[in-house]
Amino acid sequence: MYRKNPANLRSALGLLIIFISLLSGCASEPPLPPSDEQAELPSYEGKAAYNKPYKVKGKTYYPLASAGGYREIGLASWYGAESGNRTASGSRFNPKGFSAAHKTLPIPSKVRVTNLRNGRSIDVLVNDRGPFYDDRLIDLSRGAAKQIGVRGLTEVEIQSLEN
């Protein structure tokens, strides 16, 4: 009958553990970025009320400190029945003008909105908050939406015109 040497078995087991440790070290996942709760928020001290965190329908929104480098693709809608009402910035809403509402871009921000269906674009001033639907990225004034052919929900690209 063949007898195993305990010393050889321990050595082989030790080498196997070292080998597995080395392999698992190579295959480890990169560290995760901090969660939303751990991420440092920009200082909102001295900011206008419309550029501070706010809550709508139980959800808190955190405006960006800067629009510089902002670029995103999503759904645009339009609004226009609010004629004469005040925007978040305090100006009167003009549905025929070229303005927009965004949940987190700083107010005021200038952005270029491009309709991805037809390639037409327009530069608008973000001066209001919204749209407060999870699937929508930006609300355009009726005049801006008409200029680039937005009807209903339309996929657009938003690009900041600020550095």
Question: Domains of the chain by range and CATH?
Answer: 49-160 (2.40.40.10)
Residue 147 belongs to what H/E stretch?
Answer: helix 142-148
Read off the DSSP letter of residue 35.
Answer: P
% of the chain at pLDDT higher than 70 = 74
Predicted confidence band of residue 38 (pLDDT cuts 50, 70, 90): very low
**Per-residue pLDDT at 20:** 57
**pTM more than 0.75:** no
Residue 39 has pLDDT above 60, yes or no: no
CA distance 124 to 96: 12
pLDDT digits (tens, 9 = 90+) for 121-137: 999 999 999 999 999 99
Amino acid letter, 35: S
